[in-house]
Amino acid sequence: MSGKFVITGTDTDIGKSVFAAALTAALDASYWKPVQAGLAGGTDSETVARIGGIDPHRILPERYRLKIPASPHFSAAQEGVVIGLDDLGIPQVDGPLVIEGAGGALVPVNPDLLFADLFVHWALPVIIVASTSLGTINHSLLTIEALRGRNVPIHGIAFIGAENVDSEQTICRMGAVPHLGRLPILDELTPESLRDAFDAHFDMGDFAS
């Protein structure tokens, strides 16, 4: 497999990095977080490497590492950093690549650029990660609408949390997007438990190039 995917979320702290770790491991892919905002307590790259059991050589260095845990445009401004589109070209790697955005699709990268606009520039299929909790229908459909309005290719949606059949089906039907699967909340998050959960709830054929 040589597929490249962008991972975005319907909100922050919904498990986007957990899904990214699972997909990176399943594809034997490289992982790239282009902009990391917030360094205290570890980075998303470190989390993905740890819980996914990813070889450190397949974790690509962030282009921007910002200390303040906030929207990248704010963090960068506070730290005197200018984030430029020209600095965010897709790295050249052998094999699959998983790219993880920051927060949701409409989070500003800089004062003039949203992550959704960056997705347009990359022209890669985007996987939306959504919680199954209350409010997910609204958040998910808004994300789908924002991406589709920019002609961003949506590969599908992956859910995180307890099964919520009605919400999941409603989002996929009304948003006209494929349901890729659902990762349950794991009591113990290890490379082994994450791999087993992904294998049980996702079909690798859905990620074939």
Is 33 a residue of the active site?
Answer: yes
Burial class (CB in 10 A: 0-12, 13-18, 19+), 86: exposed
In the DSSP assignment, the letter for residue 142 is H
Q: Are 90 and 100 in contact (CB under 8 A)?
A: no
In the DSSP assignment, the letter for residue 58 is G
Quote the crossing angle between the two packed helices 16-27 and 191-201, to the nearest 10°. Answer: 80
Dist. CA 159–CA 89, nearest whole Å: 28
Q: Are 42 and 134 in contact (CB under 8 A)?
A: no
Which of 4, 16, 33, 67 is an active site residue?
Answer: 33
Active-site residue numbers?
Answer: 33
